[in-house]
Structures are given as structure tokens and as C-alpha cells.
Amino acid sequence: MKELLPTIDAWGEASASAGRAVVIRTFGSAPRPEGAVLLATADGRIAGSVSGGCVEGAAAEEIERARRTGHSRVIRYGISDEQAWDVGLACGGTIDVLVEPAIPTAALKAARESVASGGRGTVVLTPLPPDSPPPEFGEHRPGHGAPPAASLRFDDAGLHGTLGDPALDAALVDAARQALRRGASRTLELGGRSLFMEAFPVRPRLVIVGATEIARSLASIAGTLGYERVVIDARPAFGARERFPDVEQLMNDWPDDAFEAIGLGSDDAVAVLSHDPKFDEPAIAEAFRRGARYVGAVGSRKTQADRRSRLREAGVTDEDLARLRGPIGLDLGGRASAETALAIMAEIVADRYGASGRPLIERGRTSGPKATDPTATDPKATDPKATDPKA
């Protein structure tokens, strides 16, 4: 949703008539993730996507219906038979889509304010209609009118609102933090309730220590992926703007001073590439002290062993040393600077999403619903044919 804010601004007064469809669950090989949004206005404008193109028309019609009735609904789309083909998912996946008659302006305002204030982002939680039994293809999930308006929100100030149980609230806060860290929306099943957690994260940040050739390639790849980039090198000849023309911050400082200036924290990834102990080791120690979520450093296995010994003597804990990614990056086999940078960025992305970094084929040829889905043990949830009597 966050990426559609410029479109909403450009629409001006027309945005007041816009409703939306948002993916709240995916099963199988769905083309768009949870949180993907389609907007449609009363005058026929559309923006965004919930399926990559194959169900956009049907979803836009449902938005129009929601505007007429004032009610929200959850609808399931997926290939089940010939009748479903016209609005089916060509990849064979299935998606649950929440259709709302209006854009959630309160959520957008909270997201804007969080970004403007330098916060870590906002998670807006929307109660969903009852989830059982699962809907058949193209049918509305049972519910009585619109679900309650989103009354829960999590941001830097904590949880706004309550589920009425301290234990549930604590679990909700933990889930919201994870959603912001991963920058991903999802549906949460908690205390017998279904809540859609819509994440409005701030831009992820990569801090690179050492303005090397690998750093130049890494900064380029990270920029393509939408990361804010900070490059730190006390040597002006290396940390020169002509070598890093488009990074957001270029700092000719020692790492500890630079970390203090930028407020390095738990949402940041740090890649130490200088290959010089007087830069590397203070940077690693300080990154751990400040709780950076990812810390990696270049160097051979022998270099890493010697470095870990010195870091331990300097007071870095065994727990932190176990988190140190060194040698840095995934094993892609490449040796060129750009290939090494790709391996590093792949590891950073995998760490952000809690993924293994293994080949997808090793996960098996089929994938079930997300672990948070209440129908995870119900084969009807992963096979659209099982819920469609005409299939």
C-alpha cells in the first residue's frame, strides 16, 4: 500500500471515492504477496495489483460492489474449473482478498507520520470476518456486513488499543515487530480471532564499512532493492562521491563515530568490507553493541578465526560472535566484485525475511499455506477443487 501513496496524492479529490482490494492470505504459487493492493475509483481509475493481472477485473468489480453496499468482504480466487478460468490464477495459486469500500485513511496517515518522524514504521490491524468454513471459489466468505473498523495499531509508541488480554497483546506486539522487520503484511490468528496485519515499514537501511570495489557493487544492488545506503570510510580517496554517486549518505569518519551520527540500531544491516583490522574490528564490536540485526565481515576462514579471538578478548560475547556472518555472503561460487556483492546482498535479504538461503527446489515441489493460517491442516485450503463442488 505504501508504494501507492504517490498515486493517491495524484488522484486528489478522486481518491475520496476509491476503494481497495488487498491480499490477506496466499496458498500455493500465488503471484503477489500478502499486502498487495489494488485501488479503484468511482470514475474508473485503477492502480496496483492483487494478482499480476489475472483477477484484477473481478477485484475491481467487487470494489465497486463494496462502494455500493458499504460492506467489506473476503473473497477467494484460484483456478478450480473452466468457469473459474476467466478470473483464475494462471500459476495455480489461490489468494484470499479483503475488499473494502474505502481507502483506510487512518492507516495512511499513521504510515506517513511514522516515516516523517524517523520512526520504525506502523502496523495497522484489521479484524476480519469469520473464517470458517472456507469459501468456495469466487464466493464471499461468511460475515455480517463490514468487519469492525481497524482499532489496533502498533508503532514506536507501542500498541494502541487492546485485545483485552495482556498475554494476547504481548503476542500481538511481537508479531507486529516481526512484520515491520520483514517489511511484510500477513494474517495473524490469535486468541480465536483473525487479524490482518498491514505493515507500513520504513525503508530498510544497509550500512557499508569500507569503500571498496565490492562496496560499490553492493551499494548498487542494494539501491535497486530499495535500501537506504550509508557508506563509511575514513579515507577520503576511497569514500569519494564520484565513486558512490547515488548513495544516500557517504561519511569520511571512523565507524564508531559514524554509527553514533546515524543512530545505528536494531533495524540496520552492517556489511564490513574494509579488510583492515583497525576498521573492521571496532566496527563489528560497535555494531553488535548497538544491536544491528545483521553483521557480516569479509575475510578468509583463518582471518575470521583470528578476528573472533581478538573480538572475544575485546569483550564481544560468544552469543554475538555466533551471529557474525563471516565469511560474509551466501556460497554462490563467484569471485568477481559484483558476484561477491550479490552473494552478500542475498544473505542480507534472506536474513531479513528469516529464510534459509537454500535453493527453492529443496523446499519441495508443493507448498502449503502460511503457518499462521488457521486452515493449515485442512487440504481444502490448499486445493481449490476441494472446495468447489463443480470442480
Question: pLDDT tens digit string along 76-87?
Answer: 887 444 434 455
Mean of per-residue pLDDT scores for the chain: 81
Range with the poorest average pLDDT among 57-61, 129-133, 150-154, 171-175: 129-133
21 pLDDT above the threshold of 90: yes
The helix/strand/coil state of 160 is strand
Task: For residue 125, give the H/E element and its range.
Answer: strand 121-127
Beta-sheet pairing, 37-40 with 46-48: antiparallel
Domains of the chain: 2-201 (no CATH), 205-353 (3.40.50.720)
Question: pLDDT tens digit string along 155-187?
Answer: 888 888 888 889 999 999 999 988 888 888 899
| Site of grid cell 570510510 | 233
List CB contacts of 297: < 8 A, sequence separation 6 or more. 271, 272, 273, 280, 284, 304, 307, 324, 325, 326, 328
- HEC per residue, the chain: CHHHHHHHHHHHHHHHHCEEEEEEEEECCCCCCCCCEEEECCCCCEEECCCCCCCHHHHHHHHHHHHHHCCCEEEEEECCCHHHHHHCCCCCCEEEEEEECCCCHHHHHHHHHHHHCCCCEEEEEEECCCCCCCCCCCCECCCCCCCCCCCEEEECCEEECCCCCHHHHHHHHHHHHHHHHHCCCEEEEECCEEEEEEEEECCCEEEEECCCHHHHHHHHHHHHCCCEEEEECCCCCCCCCCCCCCCCEEECCCHHHHHHHHCCCCCEEEEECCCCHHHHHHHHHHHHHCCCCEEEECCCHHHHHHHHHHHHHCCCCHHHHHHCECCCCCCCCCCCHHHHHHHHHHHHHHHHHCCCCCCHHHHCCCCCCCCCCCCCCCHHHHCHHHHCCCC
- pLDDT value of residue 90: 55
Range with the poorest average pLDDT among 127-131, 184-188, 350-354: 127-131
Q: 146 or 321: which carries more pLDDT confidence?
A: 321
Range with the poorest average pLDDT among 174-178, 283-287, 314-318, 364-368: 364-368
- pLDDT value of residue 184: 84
- pLDDT value of residue 346: 97
Cα of 141 vs its chain's centroid, Å: 26
DSSP 92: S
- pLDDT value of residue 91: 59
Residue 369 CA to residue 296 CA, distance in Å, equals 32
Q: pLDDT band for 113, please (50, 70, 90 cuts).
A: confident
Angle between helices 213-224 and 337-353 (to 10 degrees): 50
The helix/strand/coil state of 141 is coil
- pLDDT value of residue 253: 95
- pLDDT value of residue 130: 60
Q: What is the phi/psi pair of residue 369, to 5°?
A: -70, 165
Residue 182 CA to residue 180 CA, distance in Å, equals 5
Residue 163 CA to residue 166 CA, distance in Å, equals 8
User: Smallest Cα–Cα separation from 344: which of 251, 193, 244, 213?
Assistant: 213
pTM, 2 dp? 0.69
Question: pLDDT tens digit string along 365-381?
Answer: 444 334 333 333 333 33
* Cell numbers linked to 182: 520483514
Question: pLDDT tens digit string along 194-251?
Answer: 889 988 888 889 999 999 999 999 999 999 999 999 999 999 999 999 999 999 999 9
